[in-house]
Structure 1
């Protein structure tokens, strides 16, 4: 038989047919319509980012212009949409080149604004959330609740209780955002069930370093990095690692305010864990098989029958300086540079990003860098691709016949 695609690696090859992995093993027959030489490269399952914002509202970004150069094939939107705004998120999922799954915000208004969605408990409607998930099982794989003082006001952990009730009825996990208190982190952690996720687990603001976090992790609560624009601090992560706590999943919380820094993308976030001494194999598991397992998602491994989602990386063993949300820096010994991202066996093609929304705060250096990038892209695309030596005469001239 002839495969659609064959990825040739150092110790195994991966064959693709009809958008799924058809065979895996060393020395597979080179009988494929397209053969990609990935020898000397790191070939991983398509990366799964368990905390992003690609839905409608204040925080949302377009995933496609980032996916093709970062290796992220599955984007889990973490609460951008509530029951009132599902249609907008579904349009994103239907038009994106990548796979989009989501966590339903317990607040029906979702993240239309910057914060405050759970201050009115009337928006935290448990029966409505249950009905919304049941009617959209192909899209939603869990529930998201943001618990910090700005978001909940005087309602404490009641939005979380409601999120847990809806999740229990639907048989899905809850991802809880932690941040400024009150309510206390101990109270939040004490409510979580095995399999629920605590995102921003190395937050310098929430500082989850006490016994409540260790007890939660011991009973099966999953720690999710959720970097974001304010949810990750090197010193907190390092203290957690010393105590034997490591993020189960590594996610970016990539959104309109973190895309241009301090997050940038998932490979850069992965380098921040490498800078703290986490092994490359563990880092890869935390962005592939573990989020797939935690959220019941397809993919996450390179086994026959799985979706043919891959990422190919050049592993550059060179110092790579990275920063956390508070501008502390560390140096990773490795930089992962994506050389190809495939969804269902199809290579994602380059896309240009949209400019930042007018409400996104940017520093002068960020604005200058964006303007410079635009100039360089314009110059690159406005310059003829090749000179005359790189052309062929596609329609040769013929001498006219004499009469």
Structure 2
């Protein structure tokens, strides 16, 4: 950041209006409620009038596919990151041991903060049945990757649906569980069409593991035909298993989400499972679009933003990413809530007409201000 930056008259999700001064080194030097006292700045300070905008700590998308070399599950890091107001993205197992180093290098060249789950299959998403051969699971290669990229990898990823595991059933998940225990790393587990049965998958998850796609509308999901949560889901929540949305092209259903809210299922992390096709053609488009769906569902703005800030940051063990505090490096998202009708579409093709939507306006990250 070439000079200091003042964000003037921005609102917190609590409704309080604040002024935030960021110095030329990208550090928050002053953070004051509007009117509490005058913030000191000089004539070289760039001032952004944030009237009618909210500010939060930088949004975190816990499930993306950011390895642009892969198709269909790939995209450019900044196209699904800072250009959409998202300051930190977590790649959800695009790469296994074979190419995780390439993904890390791409992250270093981007403006967006990038972290990753390591696919337990060494070939990653170079093909979409990466767990159909147990020969592609190599514990020593996983160990080597975790040692070499310790600050980059946040957990292990296993995609447990029929099209991925083939005839192997639960075998890849048993292998993932063993590696998780051996290396003290949590699992993110994708659920989808069975077999394996979702109850058998969830029973193997432990505290701090993540089940992603928990609001999908497939028959092999976590709710019965009447929308009541399965006992296996309730038991997993009690064990400390985390719930992640992972919207994607096939994994978010309005009816399932409504059932979850009706039965008091706690909101975990809201993520997109975004990649090039569902960003350009929908139904995902952006993290803001996914958050708008939860606004439509009746969650408060505070609940929604916590799901992509403090809650995600706490899971990552990086609480500084989920706060706004003097002395911290600026990591912020600016957004507005627009009172205009918008048509929202889920992964089943069902559309809902919403009266409000969340729109990103900018981000401050890695000493840069990016306007959306």
Q: Compute the TM-score of the two structures, normalised by the length of structure 1.
A: 0.82
Q: Secondary structure at the match of 1:312?
A: strand
Equivalent in 313, 320, 323 of residue 292 of structure 1 = 313
Q: Which residues in structure 2 correspond to 1:102-141 (within 5 Å)?
A: 102-113=116-127, 115-141=128-154
Structure-2 residue corresponding to 1:91? 105
Report if the CA contact (8 A) 1:176-1:199 is conserved: yes
Residues 1:193 and 2:206 aligned together: yes
Q: CA deviation at 1:151?
A: 0.6
Residues 1:38 and 2:44 aligned together: no
* Structure 1 gap ranges (5+): 351-403
Report if the CA contact (8 A) 1:127-1:166 is conserved: no
Residues 1:14 and 2:20 aligned together: yes
Q: Secondary structure at the match of 2:363?
A: strand
Number of matched residues? 348
Q: Which residues in structure 2 correspond to 1:154-165 (within 5 Å)?
A: 154-165=167-178
Q: Which residues in structure 2 correspond to 1:1-400 (within 5 Å)?
A: 4-8=4-8, 9-10=10-11, 11-17=17-23, 18-26=25-33, 27-31=37-41, 33-55=45-67, 56-58=69-71, 59-113=73-127, 115-205=128-218, 206-209=220-223, 210-259=230-279, 260-297=281-318, 298-348=320-370
Report if the CA contact (8 A) 1:69-1:338 is conserved: no
Deviates more, 1:130-139 or 1:59-68: 59-68
Report if the CA contact (8 A) 1:45-1:288 is conserved: yes
Q: CA deviation at 1:135?
A: 1.3
Q: Secondary structure at the match of 2:99?
A: helix
Rounded to whole Å, the distance in 2 between the matches of 1:12 and 1:170 is 43
Residues 266-311 of structure 1 show CA distances to partners (whole Å, capped at 9, x for unaligned) of 0000011111111111010001111111122451221234331211
Report if the CA contact (8 A) 2:66-2:75 is conserved: yes
Report if the CA contact (8 A) 1:13-1:28 is conserved: no
Q: Secondary structure at the match of 1:203?
A: coil
Report if the CA contact (8 A) 2:180-2:186 is conserved: yes
Rounded to whole Å, the distance in 2 between the matches of 1:166 and 1:37 is 50
Rounded to whole Å, the distance in 2 between the matches of 1:306 and 1:181 is 45
Q: Which structure would you say has the larger Rg?
A: 1
Deviates more, 1:231-240 or 1:26-35: 26-35
* Structure 2 gap ranges (5+): 12-16, 224-229
Report if the CA contact (8 A) 2:30-2:39 is conserved: no
Residues 337-364 of structure 1 show CA distances to partners (whole Å, capped at 9, x for unaligned) of 22212213411267xxxxxxxxxxxxxx
Rounded to whole Å, the distance in 1 between the matches of 2:204 and 2:235 is 11
Report if the CA contact (8 A) 1:75-1:101 is conserved: yes
Rounded to whole Å, the distance in 1 between the matches of 2:120 and 2:151 is 18
Report if the CA contact (8 A) 1:141-1:296 is conserved: no
Q: Compute the TM-score of the two structures, normalised by the length of structure 2.
A: 0.88
Deviates more, 1:119-128 or 1:92-101: 119-128
